[in-house]
Structure 1
Amino acid sequence: MTDRPGLRARQKAKTRAAIRRAAYRLAADHGWDAATTDRIAEAAEVSPSTVARYFPVREDILLTDEDDELLEARLRARPAAEEPLESLRAVVVDAVRTALAEEPEETRLRARLMVEIPAVRARLTETTAATGRRLARAIADRTGRCADDLEVRVFTAAVLGALREATVHWAEHGRGDDLVDLLNRTVDTLRTGLTAP
């Protein structure tokens, strides 16, 4: 009886992964417009209603995953005396490094579509804001503030927005640079500000 929730969770994760793989294949081979819910469902061998249940917004297939909970947990596990900016750098850069190592083609395709497809870019802004709200709670707890404090919200949104912009820059310039290096440069810019060349 106690194994059933674990099995159910694993089955859900397997279904989500199948939908995501199908969407990426279709988008890579035929473009995002061709990756309709019906075609994704057929390629993933599930019903269109299953795709819609797991991903009510089609662009979320590209952009959302289960990493927000893990990011928050890793942020909370950082050393208590570490500056919030360095804590965010550590968890986000590590997540990107892992994605590039484990899913390099999907990561590059996601970045390309983010630049090319306005709906994907717009949805990314929304999902980044949702991630920011979640991580702001951890930042607030670490700094003894309220998660709704203006300073906490501004800080978290600024860091995540800057890291998103670094990813857009990477995608716009052919994805040839080292994305991890660009993210680290971004955090360094936030720390030191912009100086004249």
Structure 2
Amino acid sequence: MRDGARNYFATKEDALLLPYPDQAERSVLVAEAVVTAPDELTPLDAVAHAWRAEVERVDADRDEWPARLSVLADHPSPASRVIAMEAGDQRRMVEAIARRTGLATDDPYPTLVHHVADGAPRACLRHWQQLGGARSLVELMDHAVRSVAGGLPVPPAPKAGPRR
């Protein structure tokens, strides 16, 4: 973690689990960006658009983030705390999608869009972490969102090498 980063957090575990000291405020801004995204964007694209700056920030910090993600992958106890801490963010996003679509928050569609949209960065972050940040996270996310929006077509299989 960056020098001095721990000074913003109550514990070392909080410094690992909370990417930024202003995480709650950032979550509110991202949810509002979903509501105010250009009208021509689908709800899924509006969520991806709102997350773009956050994904770019993570992508730019290729020294810290793959290591942070590796620790979380290897230690399930802190990862379960992350899930609990994200509950408020998830609620805000579902509410934002509901506002954008004009649907009630208890309609399944806003929750479905959130879960589908949330799966893209989770899958991309895992792959990006396994690559040690060697590829652009932004490009991985763009591809994932296009794939989901396109009905999640099966990608072509890599060409097999000679059989032994």
Contact 2:59–2:136 (Cα < 8 Å) also in 1: no
One-letter code of the match for 2:142?
N
Of 120, 125, 131, 2:89 maps to 131
Q: Residue 148 in 1 paired to residue 102 in 2?
A: no
* Rg comparison, structure with higher value: 1
Deviations for 1:44-65, whole angstroms, at most 9, x for unmatched residues? 3x9xxx826xxxxx64433332
Ranges of 4+ aligned residues in structure 1 off by more than 6 Å: none
Structure 1 counterpart of 2:114, which letter? T
Q: How large is the RMSD of aligned CA atoms in angstroms?
A: 2.6
Structure number with the higher helix fraction is 1
Conservation of the 8 A alpha-carbon contact between 2:66 and 2:132: no
**Matched ranges for 1:168-187 at <5 A:** 168-187=126-145
TM-score of the superposed pair, with normalisation by structure 1 = 0.64
Question: Paired residue for 2:37, among 72, 78, 84?
Answer: 78
Unaligned runs of 5+ in 2: 157-164
Shift of 1:180: 0.8
* Distance 1:128-1:168 versus aligned 2 partners, 3 A rule: farther
Paired-residue identity, %: 24
Unaligned runs of 5+ in 1: 1-16, 23-43, 53-57
Residue 8 of structure 1 aligns with which residue? none
* TM-score (structure 2 length as normaliser): 0.75
Q: Say which structure, 1 or 2, has more relative contact order (CA 8 Å, 6+ apart).
A: 2
The code of the aligned residue for 2:134 comes to G
